[in-house]
């Protein structure tokens, strides 16, 4: 009986090790501390916490890395993430401005008018928005890659916010449960480790 449990135990431990592998979430090259966020553009809590995260990034002059994690229960968030990836091709800044624009108008958006909001954003930023944004599925693949990364690190909710560090001997990552009260303190602690 013991011999049959050993392979199962090793499988469980290796799966847990992968889920806890801090190398999956690291600051970008050249940064020692960063904020990593997994967000859903249709998530009301993501909308509420996005300005707090952006402000913390600016205050501490650290990168904010945004990952798409559209939830299956939301009927337009996946398409919005794909459109955001289109704007990322013009500049990451423009893609993030689009994400913030979507959060700003989130209560007004539904599956039928999402394209209209995207077109308005494109026009305001003097960017052409093609009728078919992702004919080859490249942007959808990027969204799916983010979703797969989130699944590998066992994301359970959106937003999931991590402060990550590349400092030797420091904690590699800390999940911030309440950005209003914990985000700035966590960044301070990571920077001072």
Q: What is the pLDDT along the chain (193 residues), one digit of tens a residue?
A: 444 443 333 333 333 333 456 578 999 999 999 999 999 999 999 999 999 999 999 999 999 999 999 999 999 999 999 999 999 999 999 999 999 999 999 999 999 999 999 999 999 999 999 999 999 999 999 999 999 999 999 999 999 999 999 988 888 999 999 999 999 999 999 988 8
DSSP string covering 96-154: HHHHHHHHHHGGG--TTTHHHHHHHHHHHTT----SSS-TTSHHHHHHHHHHHHHHHTT
The count of domains in the chain is 1
User: Has residue 50 been placed in a domain?
Assistant: yes
User: Has residue 150 been placed in a domain?
Assistant: yes
User: Has residue 38 been placed in a domain?
Assistant: yes
Q: What is the pLDDT of residue 170?
A: 81
The residue among 103, 105, 96 whose CA lies nearest residue 57 is 96
For residues 100, 103, 108, 112, the Cα torsion angle rounded to the nearest 10 degrees is 80
User: Has residue 3 been placed in a domain?
Assistant: no
Is there a contact between 95 and 121 (Cβ–Cβ < 8 Å)?
no
Q: What is the pLDDT of residue 85?
A: 98
User: Has residue 13 been placed in a domain?
Assistant: no
User: Has residue 73 been placed in a domain?
Assistant: yes
Q: What is the pLDDT of residue 15?
A: 34
| Domain membership of residue 136 as a residue range | 25-192
φ/ψ region of 61 (left if φ > 0, alpha if ψ in -120 to 50, else beta) reads: left
Read off the pLDDT of residues 132-167 as tens digits, 9 standing for 90 and up: 999 999 999 999 999 999 999 999 999 999 999 998
User: Has residue 41 been placed in a domain?
Assistant: yes
Domain with residue 158: its CATH number is: 3.40.30.10
Rounded to whole angstroms, what are the CA distances from 83 to 27, 120, 183?
A: 25, 13, 29
Determine the Cα–Cα distance for residues 61 and 83; give it in Å rounded to an integer: 27
Q: What is the pLDDT of residue 13?
A: 35
User: Has residue 169 been placed in a domain?
Assistant: yes
pTM of the model: 0.86
For residues 150, 154, 159, 161, the Cα torsion angle rounded to the nearest 10 degrees is -90
β-partners of residue 131 are: none
Q: What is the pLDDT of residue 22?
A: 58
């Amino acid at each position: 009986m013991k011999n049959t449990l050993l392979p199962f135990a090793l499988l469980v431990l290796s799966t847990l090790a992968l889920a806890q592998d801090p190398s999956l979430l690291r600051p970008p090259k050249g940064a020692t501390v960063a904020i990593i966020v997994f967000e859903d553009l249709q998530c009301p809590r993501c909308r509420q916490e996005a300005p707090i995260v952006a402000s913390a990034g600016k205050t501490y002059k650290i990168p904010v890395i945004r990952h798409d994690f559209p939830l299956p229960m939301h009927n337009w968030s996946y398409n919005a993430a794909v459109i955001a990836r289109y704007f990322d091709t013009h500049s990451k800044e423009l893609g993030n401005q689009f994400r913030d624009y979507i959060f700003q108008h989130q209560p007004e958006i539904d599956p039928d008018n999402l394209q209209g909001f995207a077109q308005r954003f494109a026009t305001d930023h003097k960017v052409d928005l093609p009728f078919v944004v992702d004919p080859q599925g490249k942007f959808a693949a990027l969204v799916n890659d983010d979703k797969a990364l989130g699944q590998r690190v066992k994301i359970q909710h959106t937003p999931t916010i991590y402060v990550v560090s590349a400092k030797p001997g420091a904690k590699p990552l800390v999940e911030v449960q309440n950005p209003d009260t914990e985000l700035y303190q966590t960044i301070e602690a990571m920077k001072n480790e």
